Amino acid sequence: MSAQATYETILYDKDATDKFATITINRPDKLNAMNKTVVREIDKALAAAVADPDVNALVITGAGRAFSSGYDLQGGDFDVDIDFWRADMGENAEALLNIWKAPIPVIASVNGYALAGALELMMCCDLAIAADNAKFGEPEVRHNSGPPALMMPWLLATRDVRWLMYTGDLVDAEEALRMHLINKIVPADRLKEKTENLARKLARMPVPALKFTKASINNQQMVAGLLPSFQYNIEAIAALHVTRQGREWMANLAKMSLKEYLAFRDGPFKGLD
């Protein structure tokens, strides 16, 4: 596939002077919510980057005022069985793992919100630079759901993992840095510049050095059980979605507007900081 391939929901651009490319989730009117098309197009563009000898590093970011608000809660058929959820979670997890497994370094450039599945996407990247106005969280626990790819325990201290995944609270960039969710905070108006500087640095490194270094780091996590832990999580979240409470929440989503649904979901937690 050539770099000129067309996409509906993302942009794929190669830098004119250095060997790196950028994938931009391009649904700014929906805060870059990730539907199936987004997931599959990111995976397709990732494969194009990996296969291209002129791409030594990759950036993933979002258009407009968000990295991504997570998986799209609108437009789906939620009256489904555990086999559907198992396949759905499996496809999403595989796409995120492909980012983690890519033999080139992948940088998340985080503007605004990085929530739920988008936070997992960010954590599957090798490095993350965030604007000073970025917000991070796993709010889906509040509507009886969970992430398809459980990368957080492989990056953060267990206390911080439990806090984010039990409460659904959002944290700012400073707290995300303390937790090691991200590597660096920069002013929002310099995010593109600073991200591209890092991409240029990585693109100019000896390619085999980064390829084998990444493989060795990833192997350490694999030996420790990363892949079986992902599979367990797929089964757990699929089962969660077909519990009585899970079906009730899905029914609410089908009959409410997204604005009503989020207000209904988050209302009980107002003022409990």
* DSSP designation for 70: -
Cα 152 to Cα 242: distance, rounded to the nearest angstrom: 24
Which three-class secondary structure state does DSSP give residue 219? helix
pLDDT of 171 above 90? yes
**What is the enclosing helix (H) or strand (E) of 31?**
none
Contact (CB, 8 A) for 194 and 130: no
184-to-131, 134, 148, 173, 205 alpha-carbon distances in Å:
9, 11, 26, 9, 20
pLDDT for 3: 45
Q: Which CATH architecture has domain 10-269?
A: Alpha-Beta Complex (3.90)
Average the pLDDT over each of 99-108, 124-133, 246-255 and give the range with the smallest value.
Answer: 246-255
The pLDDT value recorded for residue 2 is: 44
pLDDT band at 4 (very low <50, low <70, confident <90, very high): low
pLDDT tens, 182-225?
A: 999 999 999 999 999 999 999 999 999 999 999 999 999 999 99
Q: How confident is the model over 45-85, as pLDDT tens digits?
A: 999 999 999 999 999 999 999 999 999 988 666 778 999 99
Q: What is the average pLDDT score of the chain?
A: 95
Would you say residue 265 has pLDDT above 80? yes
Distance, in Å, from the CA atom of 71 to the CA atom of 170, rounded to the nearest integer, reads 16
Per residue in 18-45, pLDDT tens? 999 999 999 999 999 999 999 999 999 9
What is the full DSSP assignment across 74-109?
Answer: SS------HHHHHHHHHHHHHHHHHHHH-SS-EEEE
For 135, other C-beta atoms within 10 Å of its C-beta total: 20
pTM: 0.95
**Predicted confidence (pLDDT) per residue in 83-95, tens digit:** 999 999 999 999 9
Nearest Cα neighbor of 256 from 79, 74, 116, 85 is 74
Q: Structural domain boundaries of the chain? A: 10-269
pLDDT of 1 strictly over 70: no
Q: Residues 6 or more apart from 12 whose CB is under 8 A from it?
A: 3, 5, 21, 22, 23, 24, 45, 48, 49
Query: Quick check: 133 pLDDT over 90?
Result: yes
The residues that are catalytic are 120, 140
- Provide the total of helices (H) and of strands (E) in the chain, helices listed first: 10, 10
Strand order in the sheet with 106-110: 10-14, 20-25, 57-62, 106-110, 127-131, 184-186
